[in-house]
Amino acid sequence: TAGARVAAVDLGASSGRVMAFDVTPDRVDFTEAHRFPNGPVRLGGTLHWDVLALYRGVLDGLRAAGPRLDAVGVDSWAVDYGLLDATGALLGNPVHYRDARTDGAADAVHARVPATELYDVTGLQVLPFNTVYQLAAAAGTPQLAAARQLLLVPDLLNHWLTGARAAEVTNASTTGLLDARTRAWSTGLMDRLGIDATLFPPLVEAGAVVGELLPHVLAETGLTGRAPVVAVGSHDTASAVVGVPAAGRDFAYVATGTWSLVGVELDAPVLTGAGRRANFSNELGVDGTVRYLRNVMGLWLLQECLREWGDPALGPLLAAAADEPALAAVVDAGDPAFIPPGDMPARIAAACARTGQPPPTTRAAIVRCVLDSLALAHRRAVREAAELSGRVVDVVHVVGGGARNTLLCRLTADACGLPVVAGPVEAAAYGNALVQARALGVVAGGLAELRAVVRASTGLVRYEPRAGGGDWDEAEERLA
């Protein structure tokens, strides 16, 4: 086939977007068909996602991307799910991973199956909100008792679009219930944890056709003709890693949006004790790969400061932060204490005080503290990923919304002592669209060929590390 038009639906924690991609065998071009805000909605004591608003955003996006689409693919943030009852009805709004219901849940799970044994099977880093811990927190609720199916967010949207039920593997690997070696559900772990294995639909690998858009979806979106929904790397980070424009194998990536996901791409999981203690994750990637990575708190730290300050413009703040002294104070951007929403500037100041550093007082100084801290955490994760996996790293690719943040890119290059190549901002959408295009037969090859298409289609910015760019070793010592 000479070309195709596909819609990449990419739902991030801070915004959802539908990108219309025109794909040829060696180049893609996209337009942003629709973007809509996303974020936690507090109802009573619980943080939710407004999943119907997201579904409507997807429909609006498909309408804007149409009227002719050759395929559709959906990716989103990981771990969260909707429950369906025996009639297929949604049992409540999906709970947001930042909700406090998981406080203490990991410990309760580990009391039944030790963390070492979980890691041996799943290779997953402990994040308090992994699906397995959310299910422990939900145990005994009427909702879970009534549930007959659990669908992660992209699988839920695919279900609403097509009627089909499937679990795409890359996102399934973030549940804590998938075997990282076999890429299959671990019914053994489910049994030991008292989790009903029949909740989980059959797994599919990225590239599989999930189904066709339902007639009422075609009618509502004004799309003409039929359109398959293709399973893409449905974990946004998996699609973003496909969209990394690396030319060789010796690269690390920093996928920076609400989170920074920092790591390397491997052919097989690394399930060592050292990796487990360093809290490295073996999340599964497209084409049988493993994303060996760690979560860093990401631009959430900045987003929450901005929200506290009444959402001032970002540009002037970043410019002021660039003029602040380097590394005056840093915090541990891996600390789960930063996960919940709420008064972020105060929490940052408290963390500085705890580690004997002068808390930043101005907005510019707080922003600089956040960006220095992120760069420091990027450096640590890049180094540890290389050490623990044996992968050589000679370049760091920064993709996602944070690739727009020149100060963050520059600091990351300085901290890592490696060149940073920044872009594309919409790496997840590129990766999503290219996996669809390959399923349609428009582009051919493996990840190297898909990445060559990304390189041919987008402008990239290179940042060389600067000598004298700050004493990062000393800054790291302050957090030791």
Residues with catalytic roles:
236
Please state the closest distance from residue 240 (CB atom) to ligand LRH, in A.
8
Give whichever of 9 and 302 is closer to ligand ADP, judged by the CB atom: 302
Give whichever of 28 and 299 is closer to ligand ADP, judged by the CB atom: 299
Give whichever of 82 and 257 is closer to ligand ADP, judged by the CB atom: 257
Give whichever of 237 and 281 is closer to ligand ADP, judged by the CB atom: 237
Query: Is residue 49 a contact point for ligand LRH (CB under 6 A)?
Result: no
Q: ∠ at Cα 163 (73, 34), nearest 5°?
A: 35
Please state the closest distance from residue 315 (CB atom) to ligand ADP, in A.
7
Give whichever of 383 and 404 is closer to ligand ADP, judged by the CB atom: 404
Q: In this chain, which residue has its C-beta nearest to ligand LRH?
A: 77
Please state the closest distance from residue 169 (CB atom) to ligand LRH, in A.
15
Please state the closest distance from residue 399 (CB atom) to ligand ADP, in A.
8
Give the three-class secondary structure for 230.
strand
Which value, to the nearest 10 degrees, does the dihedral of the CA atoms of residues 78, 79, 82, 88 take? 90
Q: For residue 51, what is the enclosing H or E element?
A: helix 51-65
Query: Is residue 365 a contact point for ligand LRH (CB under 6 A)?
Result: no
Q: ∠ at Cα 12 (9, 13), nearest 5°?
A: 150
- What does each C-alpha distance from 70 to 20, 66, 112, 225 come to in angstroms? 11, 10, 47, 9
Q: For residue 81, what is the enclosing H or E element?
A: strand 81-84
Query: Is residue 236 a contact point for ligand LRH (CB under 6 A)?
Result: yes
**Binding partner at 201 among ligand LRH, ligand ADP, none, C-beta below 5 to 8 Å by kind:** none
**Binding partner at 237 among ligand LRH, ligand ADP, none, C-beta below 5 to 8 Å by kind:** ligand LRH
Please state the closest distance from residue 99 (CB atom) to ligand LRH, in A.
12
Please state the closest distance from residue 258 (CB atom) to ligand ADP, in A.
3
**40 preceded by cis ω (within 30°)?**
no
Query: Is residue 259 a contact point for ligand LRH (CB under 6 A)?
Result: yes
- What does each C-alpha distance from 306 to 19, 301, 320, 355, 364 come to in angstroms? 27, 9, 14, 24, 11
* 320 burial type by CB count under 10 A (0-12 exposed, 13-18 middle, 19+ buried): middle
- What does each C-alpha distance from 471 to 130, 248, 277, 323, 475 come to in angstroms? 35, 30, 26, 17, 6
Task: Kindly list the residues in this chain that would bind ligand ADP in the complex (CB under 6 A).
Answer: 12-15, 257-258, 299, 302-303, 314, 400-402, 404-405
Strands (E), 231-277: 251-256, 260-266
Give whichever of 293 and 329 is closer to ligand LRH, judged by the CB atom: 293
Give the three-class secondary structure for 33.
strand
Query: Is residue 237 a contact point for ligand LRH (CB under 6 A)?
Result: yes
Query: Is residue 133 a contact point for ligand LRH (CB under 6 A)?
Result: no
Give whichever of 106 and 365 is closer to ligand ADP, judged by the CB atom: 365
Query: Is residue 79 a contact point for ligand LRH (CB under 6 A)?
Result: yes
**What's 123's DSSP letter?**
-
CA separation for the pair 323, 345 (Å, rounded): 19
CA separation for the pair 148, 371 (Å, rounded): 44
Per CB under 6 A, the segment of 116-124, 136-144, 251-259, 373-381 that binds ligand LRH is 251-259
The 300-329 contact track toward ligand LRH, x by CB under 6 A, reads: ------------------------------
* 464 burial type by CB count under 10 A (0-12 exposed, 13-18 middle, 19+ buried): exposed
Chain contacts with ligand LRH (rule: CB under 6 A): 12-13, 77-79, 97, 235-237, 257-259, 261, 295
